[in-house]
Amino acid sequence: MKIVLHICCGVCAAGAASVLLTEGHTVTGYFYNPNLYPESEYCRRLAAARATAEHLGFSVVEGPYDPSVWLATAEAFQHEPEGGQRCALCYRLRLENSFRFMTETAQDAFTSTLTISPHKSAKIINAIGEEIGGERFLARDFKKKDGFKKAVGLAKGWGLYRQNYCGCLYSMRENHG
């Protein structure tokens, strides 16, 4: 199957893409993350995603980076804790855009690296993805079978940048004061 893999960062892409490629899928990475703050963080994560794609042999397409789109969606929920309603809105924004990209490029299905994180609910992400794309969303929990641990191992071996916060301005404030 031709699958669009929404990519949040290189580490998560390492784990999720390696599973999909091992299963015999053709993967197109789609880096769409208007939530990432600051722009220098966006650039570091994009570079790591591209490095992962090079190591594993798939392509990455960069979606538009317009933080104002994310801010308009999430600002009213800036005081929500990590994993709260703000995060669900952020997942939805990125999955909707990934679904559009999948249909525009005539691919078979889409999924996201987001479910590999031990800090994110695969149940919530998969429910949102299925609501958006129906059967064309490939529901997965990439953290299962030590998926996150394997991804971190690959990233360390490749010398990839590994961030210490989810990515948005609000998660950065939570983690760095």
What pLDDT was estimated at residue 175? Answer: 63
Full-model pTM: 0.96
What's at 135, amino acid-wise?
A: E
pLDDT band with cut points at 50, 70 and 90 for residue 169 = confident
Q: Is 116 left (phi over 0), alpha (psi -120 to 50) or beta?
A: alpha
Instruction: Read off the tokens for 126.
Output: 């998969």
pLDDT digits (tens, 9 = 90+) for 26-75: 999 999 999 999 999 999 999 999 999 999 999 999 999 999 999 999 98
What's at 145, amino acid-wise?
A: K
Count: domains in the chain: 1
Containing domain of residue 48, as a range?
2-176
Is the pLDDT confidence value at 177 over 60?
A: no
Rounded mean pLDDT of the chain? 95
- For residues 170 and 35, what is the distance between their CA atoms, to the nearest angstrom? 10
The CATH number assigned to the domain holding 114 equals: 3.40.50.620
